Chains A and B, each alone.
Chain A
Amino acid sequence: GAGVSQSPSNKVTEKGKDVELRCDPISGHTALYWYRQSLGQGLEFLIYFQGNSAPDKSGLPSDRFSAERTGGSVSTLTIQRTQQEDSAVYLCASSPDSGGTDTQYFGPGTRLTVL
């Protein structure tokens, strides 16, 4: 079946502009995660959804970052007034439930470049 998909695959934007990144999880997966990975760095947790609610938003680096999930499926990560330090690969993952015992399946990521 189809895996996790993300769009766009690449996004180049100017400093100060807003961007929206989209994630389509595997069908039926209730848990959805957003991570950020800067060049040569590890995975930085941003936010986690169980259904449409977000039990853990602790990783969002500033109030410029927000995310929502509708219909228990598609999620959008929005970055307002982008800064150069926001440049990174943004990865989305989904898993069948929120228990943490299930494997997370990653999408291909969106590479964001802020000029």
Chain B
Amino acid sequence: QKEVEQNSGPLSVPEGAIASLNCTYSDRGSQSFFWYRQYSGKSPELIMSIYSNGDKEDGRFTAQLNKASQYVSLLIRDSQPSDSATYLCAVNERVDGTASKLTFGTGTRLQVTL
């Protein structure tokens, strides 16, 4: 059973601080990694995707991938109260030779305090 692990939180950070969200995965063959944000009562929405080792920056968000350590993280700089949500890590998992699906972690709840 392929697994994606996240700390459920809540992770509480003050406004303006950096929030660091972490995720580990078990499938060494995974090639694609995603971070989704889910507000309470809403559907997940994509924040970042990353496919190669290293950092990928998009505005206040930075995704970091280390395939050797099977570790992916999301940094949110200058955290805002509107960033308060559950952040889901998703990793692709091969189904057969050509197809794959995403496996989601259970999510980390982030609270940005004033």
Residues of A within 8 A of B (CB): 33, 35, 41-43, 45, 48, 50, 55-56, 91, 98-101, 103-109
Whether the Cβ atoms of A100 and B45 lie closer than 8 Å is no
A56–B93 alpha-carbon span in the complex (Å): 11
Out of B43, B46, B92, B104, name the residue touching A101 (CB < 8 Å).
B92
Out of B44, B46, B49, B100, name the residue touching A43 (CB < 8 Å).
B44
Out of A45, A48, A106, name the residue touching B43 (CB < 8 Å).
A106
Interface size class of B (residues with CB under 8 A): 20 to 34
Whether the Cβ atoms of B34 and A99 lie closer than 8 Å is no
Chain A residue contacts of B100, Cβ below 8 A? 98-100
Whether the Cβ atoms of A55 and B95 lie closer than 8 Å is yes
Residues of B within 8 A of A (CB): 31-32, 34, 42-46, 49, 51, 88, 90, 92-96, 98-107
Q: Could you pull out 27 A-B pairs where Cβ atoms are within 8 angstroms?
A: A35-B104, A41-B106, A42-B107, A45-B104, A48-B95, A55-B99, A56-B95, A56-B99, A56-B101, A91-B43, A91-B44, A98-B98, A98-B100, A99-B100, A100-B93, A100-B94, A100-B100, A100-B102, A101-B31, A101-B51, A101-B92, A103-B46, A103-B49, A106-B44, A107-B43, A108-B43, A109-B43
CB distance from A30 to the nearest CB of B (A): 10
Chain A residue contacts of B106, Cβ below 8 A? 41-42
The number of A-B residue pairs with CB atoms under 8 Å apart is 63
A108–B24 alpha-carbon span in the complex (Å): 28
Chain B residue contacts of A43, Cβ below 8 A? 44, 88, 104
Chain A residue contacts of B99, Cβ below 8 A? 48, 50, 55-56, 98-100
Chain B residue contacts of A56, Cβ below 8 A? 95, 99, 101
**Which of B31, B42, B51, B104 has its CB near the most chain A CB atoms (within 10 A)?**
B104
Chain A residue contacts of B103, Cβ below 8 A? 45
- Beyond A48-B99, A99-B92, A100-B102, 17 additional contacts (C-beta under 8 Å) are A35-B104, A42-B104, A42-B106, A45-B102, A55-B96, A56-B101, A98-B98, A99-B100, A100-B32, A100-B93, A100-B99, A104-B34, A104-B46, A104-B90, A106-B45, A108-B42, A108-B43
